[in-house]
Amino acid sequence: MMIRALWPALASLGAGLVLFATAAGAAPAVAIPVGIAGAVELAWAFSVLRAGRLVMPRAAIVGGAVGIVGSGFLLLTGPVALVPFVALFVFHWSIAIAAVIELRGARARSLGAAATVAMAPSTAPSTASAPAPAPRQRRAGAFTIVLVIEAMLVAAIATPALAASEAGEFAVPHGTLHSGH
C-alpha cells in the first residue's frame, strides 16, 4: 500500500517547496497565506509517509482543488510565474486524482466486504471459517526503485519552478565563487 501513497506524498513535498519559494519573494499579504499553505503541504506529506497510506483523502481532494485555483489566482495577479504555476498544477492535480482513486478503492472494498457478509449465511461453514489471506509483502527493491523514480520526477518538476520563482532569480548560480565569503 505504501507505494500507492508515495507519489502523492512526494508531490505534496514538491508543492510545499514551490509554495515556500513563492512566499519568500512575495509581499507579506501574500507570503503569509502562501507560506501557511506550504506548511500544510509539508505536514500532509509527512503524515502520509508516516502512515504508509493516503490520509484524509477527502481533504486532499479539496486541497488539490484549492491549490489549483489558488495557484491560478497567483499566476493572474503576479506572484507566480508560468513555470511554478504549471508545477503546482501538476502536483495538486495528481494529489487530487490519487485521493479520488483511494476513495473509490475504499468504497469498492467496503461494498465487497458488505457483499461478503450478506452472502456468508448461505456459504458452507468450512468456507466461512477460512482465514483471510495475508497481505502481499512488497520487495524492498521494488519500493526503492519506485521511490527513486518518483523522487527524480518531483525534482524534475520542482527544480525549474524553484528557479523561476523570485527567490530563485536572485540565487547565486552554482559553481561560481562567492566573492568575500
Q: What is the DSSP string of 11-68?
A: HHHHHHHHHHHHHHTS-HHHHHHHHHHHHHHHHHHHHHHHHTS--SHHHHHHHHHHHH
Over residues 20-33, mean pLDDT = 93
pLDDT band at 144 (very low <50, low <70, confident <90, very high): confident
The reported pLDDT for the residue numbered 149 is: 93
Sign of CA dihedral 120, 126, 131, 132: negative
pLDDT band at 129 (very low <50, low <70, confident <90, very high): low
Query: CA dihedral defined by 57, 59, 64, 66, rounded to 10 degrees?
Result: 170
Q: What percent of the chain has pLDDT over 90?
A: 59
pLDDT band at 134 (very low <50, low <70, confident <90, very high): very low
Quote the mean pLDDT of the chain. Answer: 84
Q: Looking at the predicted structure, is the pLDDT value of residue 10 above 90?
A: yes
The three-state secondary structure class of 175 is: coil
Give the single-character DSSP code of 170.
T
As a whole number of angstroms, the distance between CA 109 and CA 143 comes to: 24
The reported pLDDT for the residue numbered 167 is: 80
Over residues 111-118, mean pLDDT = 64
pLDDT band at 81 (very low <50, low <70, confident <90, very high): very high
Backbone angles phi, psi at 53, to 5 degrees: -155, 165
Q: Looking at the predicted structure, is the pLDDT value of residue 1 above 70?
A: no
Q: Read off the pTM.
A: 0.78
Q: What percent of the chain has pLDDT over 70?
A: 79
Over residues 129-158, mean pLDDT = 77
Backbone angles phi, psi at 179, to 5 degrees: -65, 125
Most confident range, picked from 103-117, 128-142, 147-161: 147-161
